[in-house]
Structure formats: C-alpha cells, structure tokens
Amino acid sequence: MFELAATRHSKLSTLGGFNHVHLAEPQKMTVSTKEPCKLEIFSMDLGLDRIKSLLYALGSPEKNLSVIHVAGTNGKGSVCAYIASILKAAGFKVGRYNSPHFLEPTDAMQICDESIDSAAYRELCDRVASVDKENNCGASTFELSTAAAILWFYESKVDFAVIEVGLGGTLDATNVFDNVVASVITPIGMDHAGILGNSIAEIASAKAGIIKANCPVIASPQPEADAMDVVKKTAQRLSSPLLISPMARWCSPSKEQATVDIRYPNDRPLTTYQFKIPLYGDHQLVNAATAVSTIHILKNAKNDLDIKITVEHIQQGMADTRWPGRLDLLTKEQCPWLTNLYSIDEMFVDGAHNPPAAQVLREFVDQQCQTRNNDKVQWIIASTEGKDVKELLSILLRPQDSVCATTFTQPENMPWISHMDPSEIRDIAATVASGPCTVEPSLAQALRNAGQSKGLIVLCGSLYLVADLYRLHRHI
C-alpha cells in the first residue's frame, strides 16, 4: 500500500507516513516549519516538515477537524477509547486514531468503533502515497498512516477526532492540528529513553509538546513530580487552563462501579460522576477519571462547539468501552480452543512493555494470586529489541515464578520493529525466578508449555505478542 520514497527520509520511522487522499490538486512546494531541532536516532527520523508538506498537498484536511489530542507513556489508548465511546453515546460521529495498530493496519483508524473497510483503506493509502510521491514529500510510514487517517476523518465529516500520539509529542506526526479542543496528558514514565530524553523531565517536555495556546489541558495524576512540574509550566506559559484529573475510587468491593468528583471551573459546584469501568485493573481508576474529566471540560467549555453530553451518556459510554489486549481475561467459556488445544482454562494477557506498565500488571497479578490462593505465575513473554527487559523482569517476576520466552511475528507495515532473542529473555529471567525458564520458538509451543503449569498464566511483554494470540484465536 505505502511505498517508502527512495530518499534519505525513507528511513523506517515509528513516525512514518502513508499515501493520502486528494482534497485538492497537489502542488509542487516546499514547507519549512523552522523547527528548533530534528531528531534522528537509529531508524528514527522525527520531525514535522514532511507530514505538513503532505497534508498541505492533500488540501490541509487537518485544519477542519475538532481534535482531542492524547499523549503520555501509559494509558493513552484506554483514555482515547473511553473518550470516543462517551462521545459516540452522546450521538457524535467520532473518529479515533491509535498507534500502533493491533491486529491489522486498518484497526488503527476507526469511526464510531468501526475500522475502515479494507478496500477503502487500500484506496486511501494509494491516494496518499501518490500525493506524497508527486510532491516529493518523502513521508515515512507512520506519517503516511497519520495523513491517511486525518484525510479519512475529514472526508467522513466526523464531529470529533480522538488522536493518540505515536511517540513523544512535540515532533510526533500527529502534532499538526490547529483546532485542538482538549490536550490530554496521561501518566508519564521512563520509556523511549534516548529518543525522547534521558530523564523524566525531558520526556515530559516532549509529551507536553502537544499543548496548544489557550487550549484546555487535562493531566492525569503523575507518578513523578518532575513530569507534573513540566506539564504545569508548559500550560502556564501557553495560557492554557489546566485541570489535574482527580483520582476516581471504587464504589464497592466488586470493582465494577467507580465515582469521581470534579470541580471545574473552580467557581463551579463540585460535580460527582458514577460509572462502570469495564476494563480490569486499579490503574483504570486513573484512566477513567482522566477521560471523564476531559468530557467534563468539553461539556462546560465556553466555545462555538455545541456539546450536549449528559450523565447518562457518560455512564453508557464508559460501560460500552472496549480496549482489547490490555489486561484481558481469556477463559475456556470465551475461548474453548485454549482448553482444547493447550489445556489452559484461563489466562490474562496484557501489552505491558515498560516499567510503569509492568508495575501496574504485577500489582494486578498479586491481587489475582491472592484471590486464587496460588502464588505461582507462569509467564509467557516476548519483547521488542531495545527494551530494558532486565528492569521489566525485575518488576514482574517473583522467585517462585516460571517464564517461557518466545517471539512475535513481524508487524505489518512496521519493518523497524524486531523481537528480542528469546534466549536473552530466558537468561535474564533465570537470575530472578527459580522456576523453569525456557525458550519456545513459537507462541503455540509456548502455550502448550504454559498449559502444563499449575500457576496463574500471564502473557505480556509486547502488544505484538498479544496481537499474535488474538490472531491465533481468530484463525482457529
């Protein structure tokens, strides 16, 4: 679909570009955004010149979208899913763009929870690629993909576009919108160090780069004081009103219903929202509250947008939210093939791949072990090359645990991604866990291995591994 231009910009980037659609006849032109810096690391080639050139050649569709822009280290995807679901429940036509894609490239772009049709996606990509080539934009794969999503949302006349940042914020290909109605910052942690920066403050500065002047900012509570300090200072410098999302709390031991109290603006009475959180994990209290805080600001904003959202819309949207691959519980009732083929009655799957996410996952696993009165965990783990697996495993593993290291298949349209040698994962795991630490060359073999375990089975380490599991399920 997308052919990378044979130029220095054809370096494969996690901020790459797609072929896009014509809004107007393409023009030969050069655009300079006079960026203060340009970051090139390994196969990364971050910057906004190419994506802005491409969007200009497409007729500047990004200028006609009302955007909710979401950056952060963890929780971006679920916050986007909550926000989009609430807006859909309120009757709006909502585009949502997430990266990376989960199972197929088409699922990265959705309108009202429906992915773009495969044929329409191919046609869209061909159009964008053609414009990119004709105008010598040299867009990367992610830039092409982002431009395609923007064009699709524009041509589909969505009311809102909920956009997840790909990497960082300041130089991310999604940071091209003029009409941002809310900038959202989820919890920030150490991830992509060396690309975004080697400290929390540097990483937070990159994430806060999506904040626009005079545009409302909603920030999740931050685990690191330096991150919140950067967000506050950026918002203040740009005269952007900032709401630090309060923490939601569970209403009952069942952990299905939650409540959050929000006061915004400060002269308004306190508003209490109660809603169901359908996703697992205490960390969803943060993500859900951030999403509801964003909706609260939108419905109370003084602007030209006609946003009528009721408490009932919020409750329905929250309850309807789905975000597969993130702390999912697969059971023999849902997935009989797990039991029939691998002797697995239940297993948890999660895309946790960095230390903050690993900490959340381990806390959840500890709760599940206590509930089941079983302290042994059988892990199935794969990782992307370059990740700090030693720190990840030091958080996840306990001495009594067992580990089966494996690989994942090459993600489509993401040739810069490669899996870590599973023997490296096994060797590191063996320094922490006293249970068996093995290597299996395929996910199917890893599942058979795990099926012989007496412990709680958890698959994690990479969303690409989780996607392989779902594809296996789909094709059986």
**Lowest pLDDT segment from 79-88, 193-202, 457-466:** 193-202
Q: For residues 404, 405, 410 and 412, what is the CA-based torsion angle, rounded to 10 degrees?
A: 50
pLDDT of residue 45: 67
More confident residue, 94 or 264: 94
Give the mean pLDDT of 452-465. Answer: 93
d(CA 211, CA 237): 10
The string of pLDDT tens digits covering residues 137-180 is 999 989 999 999 999 999 999 999 999 999 889 999 999 999 99
pLDDT at 3: 42
Task: Say whether pLDDT at 76 is over 90.
Answer: yes
What pLDDT shows up at residue 412?
79
Read off the tokens for 104: 């197929």
| Predicted confidence (pLDDT) at residue 304 exceeds the cutoff of 90 | no
**Among all chains, which residue has been given the structure tokens 């952060």?**
72
CA-CA distance, 222 to 39, in Å (whole number)?
26
Helix (H, G, I), strand (E, B) or coil at 365: helix
Is the pLDDT confidence value at 9 over 80? Answer: no
8 Å CB contact between 364 and 331: no
Q: Can you give the pLDDT at residue 427?
A: 96
Question: What is residue 434's predicted lDDT score, i.e. its pLDDT?
Answer: 86
How far apart CA 270 and CA 268 sit, in angstroms, is 7
- Confidence at residue 23, expressed as pLDDT on a 0 to 100 scale: 38
Instruction: Give me the percent of the chain exceeding a pLDDT of 70.
Output: 88
Would you say 19 and 125 are in contact if contact means Cβ atoms under 8 Å apart? Answer: yes
pLDDT at 2: 53
For 110-133, what is the mean pLDDT? Answer: 97
pLDDT at 161: 98
What confidence score (pLDDT) does residue 12 get? 26
pLDDT tens per residue, range 313-352: 999 999 999 988 888 899 999 899 999 999 999 999 998 8
Can you give the pLDDT at residue 193?
A: 64
Average pLDDT of the chain is 87
300 alpha carbon, distance to own chain's centre: 27
Select from 89, 93, 135 the least CA-distant residue to 111. 93
DSSP per position, 324-364: TTSSEEEETTT-HHHHHHH--SEEEE----SHHHHHHHHHH
Q: What confidence tens digit (pLDDT) does each residue in 363-418 have?
A: 999 999 998 998 899 999 999 988 889 999 999 999 999 999 999 998 877 777 88
Amino acid at 401: D
Do the Cβ atoms of 24 and 153 come closer than 8 Å?
no
- Containing H/E element for 68? strand 67-71
pLDDT tens-digit series, residues 235-250: 999 999 999 999 999 9
Q: Is the dihedral of CA 106, 284, 82, 182 positive or negative?
A: negative
Quick one: pLDDT band at residue 476, thresholds 50, 70, 90?
Answer: low
Interatomic CA distance for residues 184 and 203, integer angstroms: 15
What per-residue confidence (pLDDT) applies to 245? Answer: 97
Beta-carbon neighbour count of residue 404 at 10 Å?
28
Give the Å distances, CA to CA, from 88 to 22, 125, 316: 28, 26, 10
> How far is Cα 79 from Cα 75, in angstroms, rounded to an integer?
6
